[in-house]
Amino acid sequence: MRPNPLLTALGYAPTDRVVIFHADDIGMCGATVDAYADLLDVGALTSAALMVPCPAAAEGAAVARRYPHADLGVHLTITSEWDVLRWGPVSTRDPASGLLDAEGRFPCTVQAVQATARPDAVRSELAAQVSRARAWGVDITHVDSHMGALAHPKFLPAVMALAGQEGVPAMYPRMNRAGWRAQGFDAAGAAGAWGYGRLLEHAGRPLVDGLYMLPLEGGSDHLELTRRVLATLPPGLTHFILHPARDTPELRAICGDWPGRVANYEAFRDPRMKGVIADSGVHAIGYRPLRDWMRARA
């Protein structure tokens, strides 16, 4: 694929490696909020996203308000995947919406919500989540999708329409067909995802070139892992995902993958991480420059 035109628009060379170090799941529980505050203090994190329907989301928004440089988006959420901590829609309690399971919460799996949720109900729910974040004082820099649940042809138009109305980027990769196949799409799905990305780019929507997520399996040394990953990143704009959380009894009770979340947090809390990033030669940015570029073109 040709180089991402967004790179030159933001002042980078087509061969530069630009990375958004992005914390997902902020507000899921208190352990994520405390970790978020710690990482804002350290300064290696460049972006994050808030899970508005979750129990500690308002606390996460309050943290962002205390940090003028905080780059915080909305982690649009239509699934509730844990057994002991559940959440549901902020816009409705109507079972006919397809957004509720037998417990009155979001469905547990991506497959379930994609099968049952009505597109109009999803559209209303996403708008309600963004509206609530704004009411909490969040200067929304972007939107993205929890568990990728919104990466479905019947939901994507609502996501992109909302992002356009808000004047914020919606995280979407500009991968070719092979890249989408590597993400698990079949041939038809990969062709559709690639074509949709081309339409978005033609419409002036900022897109990322690739995705990387620090693992959630086990609790190894994720600082050294990050060093190795950054050394091999190709040119372009990468959305680099971590799921930071403090090691607390609450987190251990909720998440079977808590060691990975803690390892993500410890790596980016380590004062050496800023040096790892600098030594790698990548350029670290958040979503605010992408948002500003998008709004300037509107």
Full pLDDT tens readout for the chain, 298 residues? 789 999 999 999 999 999 999 999 999 999 999 999 999 999 999 999 999 999 999 999 999 999 989 999 999 999 999 999 999 999 999 999 999 999 999 999 999 999 999 999 999 999 999 999 999 999 999 999 999 999 999 999 999 999 999 999 999 999 889 988 888 888 988 899 899 999 999 999 999 999 999 999 888 899 999 999 999 999 999 999 999 999 999 999 999 999 999 999 999 999 999 999 999 999 999 999 999 999 998 8
End-to-end CA distance of the chain: 26
Q: Residue type at 175? A: M
Q: Buried b vs exposed e over 270-288: b needs ≥16 C-beta within 10 Å?
A: beebeebbeebebbbbbbb
Task: At 22, give phi and psi (nearest 5°).
Answer: -120, 125
What pLDDT does 13 receive?
A: 97
Q: Are the C-beta atoms of 167 and 298 separated by less than 8 Å?
A: yes
Q: How far apart are alpha carbons 99 and 107 in whole angstroms?
A: 7
Q: Where are the beta strands (DSSP E) in the chain?
A: 17-26, 47-50, 72-76, 140-145, 210-213, 236-242, 283-285
DSSP 3-state of 194:
helix
What pLDDT does 190 receive?
A: 87
Q: Are the C-beta atoms of 240 and 22 separated by less than 8 Å?
A: yes
Q: Are the C-beta atoms of 27 and 52 separated by less than 8 Å?
A: yes
What is the separation of C-alpha 251 from the centre of its chain, rounded to a whole number of angstroms?
A: 20
Q: Buried b vs exposed e over 195-205: b needs ≥16 C-beta within 10 Å?
A: ebbeebbeeeb
